[in-house]
């Protein structure tokens, strides 16, 4: 039976960290940094018979802005609709209903997110970013 929960006590941090440390977006992140990001975000764990098979986190002020990050379903559980179920639960999360601006970055899952209303920036000239060198993220 699949369950999606925001209960942080259920998160299996080693599973999350193991997956994320191999991704293109956070390759090599230290375990303590993974724990800190989970502590400060709204997290969604995806479980199959109590085993964690997926994850997503939201950086948010719970009022105006939400930034979707670190979304994944373990590869061996892919292709079964779990990502769509996770996105539906995130969309329906009562704590995030007043957030009108949602953002995310992806290199390869555009089609999934388009199904949930995400699109390319309508006004890219209004969006800026500041990138910090990667090595500073891995320190400490």
Q: What is the pLDDT of residues 60-91, one digit of tens each?
A: 999 999 999 999 999 999 999 999 999 999 99
CA 68 to each of CA 1, 37, 118: distance values in angstroms, whole numbers, following the listed order: 25, 12, 11
Domain count across the chain? 1
pTM recorded for the entire structure = 0.87
**Range(s) of the domain holding residue 27:** 2-138
What is the domain-level CATH number for residue 116?
3.40.630.30
pLDDT tens, 13-47?
999 988 887 776 665 556 567 788 889 999 999 99
């Amino acid at each position: 039976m699949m369950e999606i929960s925001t209960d942080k006590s259920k998160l299996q941090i080693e599973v999350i960290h193991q997956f994320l440390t191999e991704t293109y977006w956070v390759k090599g992140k230290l375990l303590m940094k993974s724990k800190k990001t989970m502590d400060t975000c709204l997290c969604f764990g995806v479980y199959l018979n109590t085993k964690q098979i997926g994850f997503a986190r939201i950086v948010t002020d719970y009022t105006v802005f939400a930034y979707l990050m670190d979304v994944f379903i373990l590869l061996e559980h892919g292709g079964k609709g779990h990502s769509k179920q996770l996105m539906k639960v995130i969309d329906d999360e009562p704590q995030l209903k007043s957030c009108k601006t949602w953002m995310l970055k992806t290199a390869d899952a555009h089609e999934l997110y388009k199904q949930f209303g995400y699109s390319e920036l309508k006004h890219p000239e209004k969006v800026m970013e500041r990138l910090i060198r990667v090595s500073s993220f891995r320190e400490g």
